[in-house]
Structure 1
Amino acid sequence: MSVRVLVLYHSMYGHVETMAKAVAEGVTHAGGTPTLGRVPELMPEDAFRKAGGKTDQVGEIIEPASLADYDALIIGTPTRYGSMSGQMRNFLDQTGGLWQKGALVGKVGSAFASTATQHGGQETTLINVHVTLLHLGMVVVGLPYSFAGQTTLEEISGGSPYGATTIAGSKGERQPSRNELEGARFQGRHVTDIARRLSA
């Protein structure tokens, strides 16, 4: 059975988008069907461009009601002061109708993120997303230590048991590393495998 997985992200400069693509690759590798989607940008287009925002992103704009169409939801967000971005928060705040109907209860939820610095709130951001997923009744899945890159001491790297992460640099100058992308792919596979078991 093919598991439908929505990889839903918000990305300002493209770092989270790159991670989202890797997550989607992992979903495909596990035999799932990924959809790359993104939440609407709240910044005016002019301001977004002036701030250096990436305008040619691959994800299609997703409506909150469509979350019920998927077996699993994997959310990617940049960090804003230790929490998810305002764009992602705004989107999730529109899922009250799904919450009332219990439309996401028992489905799999997971998260990945980026921060500017190594200790810039990656884990608090992921846990913040997890709290929302739990309120929606979802089964929360992280990035287990069976992903060997989780314990690397060879390089500075994102990643935690709460989800895959990347460090973008204070000016967005650092792109996701090979290890970080492998963590994202692993998470995509892992979520898909669990969603398949729950759907059986």
Structure 2
Amino acid sequence: MKALILYYSTYGHIEALANAVAAGVREVNGTEVVIKRVPELMPEEVAKQAGAKLDQDAPIATVEELPDYDAIIIGTPTRYGRMAAQMANFLDQTGGLWFQNALVGKVGSVFTSTASQHGGQETTLISTIVNLMHLGMTIVGTPYTEKRLTLIDEVMGGTPYGASTIAGGDGSRMPSDNEIEIAKSQGRHVASVAMALKKGSA
């Protein structure tokens, strides 16, 4: 079972969650995971002025390679309660794959980051999931078997629609231990479901 973690990260928060999701995928025997990111749309000078993290290890993905994976787990920060333009631009190029039914039956999942506790995590996750449903993907979230989703003793992300983190208004807060563990749990769950579907269709 081959999984792609496909993300966009301006300041490194989604990048950190992407690595955690990938770690969870690797815990499932028989899996291979690849981490890639979508292209930056900001000119380099503008990105530098904005303090964007430009030294990310993940290579740039192409739309054409998406059918090579059994599961695609998308990470995008929130922009006014929806996915970032960089991710939207990438997904907008999948029309040819839609026409060919190339992603039908693949497993899809989403994770996100917001500046504030109520900054649009769930709307971003759900609206991104809608894109994957149009492509015919099988949606997998983060079920409440992950007990950290019910914790209320600290401010943190984490939803049944996918993992999430809170970056803080100035971006200084990186994912907490609980948020990292929820992301790992999502990776494990997605990998397990994708593996079961792949075996069932063999």
TM-score range, shorter chain: over 0.9
* Structure 1 contact 7–35 (Cα < 8 Å) conserved: yes
Aligned equivalents of 1:66, 1:170: Cα separation in 2: 35
Residue 196 (structure 1) shift: 0.5
- Name 1:34's counterpart in structure 2: 33
The 3-state SS of whatever aligns with 1:166 is strand
- Aligned residue number for residue 158 of structure 1: 157
Q: Which residue of 1 aligns with 2:122?
A: 123
1:9 matched to 2:15: no
TM-score using structure 1 length: 0.98
Q: Secondary structure at the match of 1:37?
A: strand
Greater shift in the superposed pair: 23-32 or 39-48 = 23-32
Compute the displacement of 1:48 (Å): 0.4
1:170 aligns with 2:181: no
> What pairs up with 1:38-117 in 2 under 5 angstroms?
38-117=37-116
Query: Conserved in 2, the CA contact under 8 Å of 1:104 and 1:138?
Result: yes
Shift in Å at residue 74 of structure 1?
A: 0.2
- 1:69-128 CA distances to partner (integer Å, 9 max, x unpaired)? 000000000000000000000000000010000000001000000000000000000001
**Residue identity (%):** 58
Runs of 4+ in structure 1 displaced over 3 angstroms?
none
- Cα RMSD (Å): 0.5
Displacement after TM superposition at 1:188 (Å): 0.4
Cα distance between partner residues in 2 of 1:58 and 1:20: 12
Q: Which amino acid aligns with 2:6?
A: L
After TM superposition, the score normalised by the length of structure 2 is 0.97
Q: Cα offset for 1:154?
A: 1.6
SS in 1 for 2:110: strand
- Residue 57 of structure 1 and its aligned partner are, at CA, apart by 0.6
Hey, what's the Cα distance between the residues in 2 that align with 1:110 and 1:9?
12
* Count of residue pairs brought into register by the alignment: 198
Unaligned runs of 5+ residues in structure 2 are: none
Cα distance between partner residues in 2 of 1:125 and 1:153? 22
3-state secondary structure, aligned to 1:61:
coil
Counterpart contact for 1:36–1:58, Cα < 8 Å = no
